[in-house]
Amino acid sequence: MCYNISNNNKSEAQLQKVLGPSYPKKLGQLKIQFSASGFTHPEWPVITCDYPNEFQLLNWGLIPSWTPSLALSKQFALNNLNCKSETIFDKPSFSDSIKKQRCLVPVTGFFEWRSLNKNKYPYHIHLKHEEIFCLGGIYDEWVNKPTGEIKKTFSIVTTEANPLMAKIHNVKLRMPLILTKENRQQWLNTNLHESDIKKLMQPLNEDLMTAYTISKRITSRTENPNSVETLQPFEYPELALIDS
């Protein structure tokens, strides 16, 4: 799955230059996230079908528009950080959004864990030739009727793992949907048929990706994981032995 992402050292100007849409001043300064956990429901700059020419800030963890209560909204937000491409058209939480409410989630990388002998080793994964790239997502808007508060949220689509990600995420064998420069705009096209959308939800070629191990600071309870130190390469001798 995909529960941790980063947008380290990237500014509003860089997002605009690489991806095109404007970054409205009303959104405030872009927050640098060396490691953002979906379980904290961070606010993230995304590009949606509704507003393809400017960034919006949405919270990670999709709450369907039909959610009847605040209690259920919190439950959905935790359970809907990701959505599987294979079942996305069948699940009530996602079936409406995938048809007409798709979005781009810009990142500089994401994190996954490799399991070996009951231990887990964190990796930072990114693209070889793109500092900023886009994950495919869906979004929705929910209104808390007692208060009138509007909550805009998103979920990241996942696919089966390519060979690189199968080696890293070697238990669940999943990876986020990574959209190439060529198909980003297609993902935002609201006129696509179901078959066209399914064609876009494919694992990225592993040759375009690279990864390295990092320290377990990312899950530390005593050190701040949202730190540049989290992204520093860290070697584990036990992994080197089996990978050599």
Task: Average pLDDT across each block of 10 residues of the chain; the chain has 244 residues. List them in order.
Answer: 90 92 92 94 97 96 97 97 98 97 98 95 97 97 94 98 97 97 96 97 98 95 92 93 79
What pLDDT is attached to residue 241? 82
DSSP β-ladder status, 149-160 and 56-60: parallel
Task: Quote the CA–CA distance of 211 and 182 in Å, as a whole number.
Answer: 23
Q: Which residues contact 47 (CB under 8 A, 6 or more apart)?
A: 19, 21, 54, 55, 56, 103, 104, 106, 134, 188
DSSP 88-143: TTTSTTTTTHHHH-EEEEEESEEEEEEEETTEEEEEEEEESS-SSEEEEEEEEEEE
Architecture of the CATH domain 4-243? Alpha-Beta Complex (3.90)
Q: Which residues contact 146 (CB under 8 A, 6 or more apart)?
A: 70
Task: Quote the CA–CA distance of 204 and 231 in Å, as a whole number.
Answer: 22
What pLDDT is attached to residue 242? 84
What pLDDT is attached to residue 233? 97
